[in-house]
Homo-oligomer: A and B are copies of this chain.
């Protein structure tokens, strides 16, 4: 397992242990983790605190993102993909997109390289969560 994706998975598990939605993210610049986070909709009662947004916040005011690689356990939605495109992040590596198609095409149309690792560990974690918490999941992706 890629050490950075493992860190994103660890974030997702932290969120799950807190009673939250198990999606984790880390941002890497020059092979160093500069930010990490996980979905906190439940924990903070905050609808925008998706894993990637929490991760970008934790990294602070980076300024230039052209060398940044954003890892996420799940394909980013339009909110998080919008941040990627606006901030000029050039590469996104995800654990899976089977449980959520996300905004891959949108990112690619804006020149972002998207790599989908299609990891069983990520797919199983998310599938189990969605099955147990459908309303929470559909709230998170704006499909209530």
Residues on A facing B (Cβ under 8 Å): 41, 45-49, 53, 56-57, 59-65, 77-83, 85-88, 103, 106, 110, 139, 141-144
Contacts and interface: CB of A to CB of B under 8 A. Distances in A.
Given A81-B82, A142-B86, A45 B61 contact: yes
A142 B87 contact: yes
**Interface secondary structure of A, over-half rule:** loop
A89 to B, nearest CB: 9
A76 to B, nearest CB: 9
Contacts of A143: 88
Contacts of A87: 47, 79, 142
A47 B53 CA distance: 10
A44 to B, nearest CB: 9
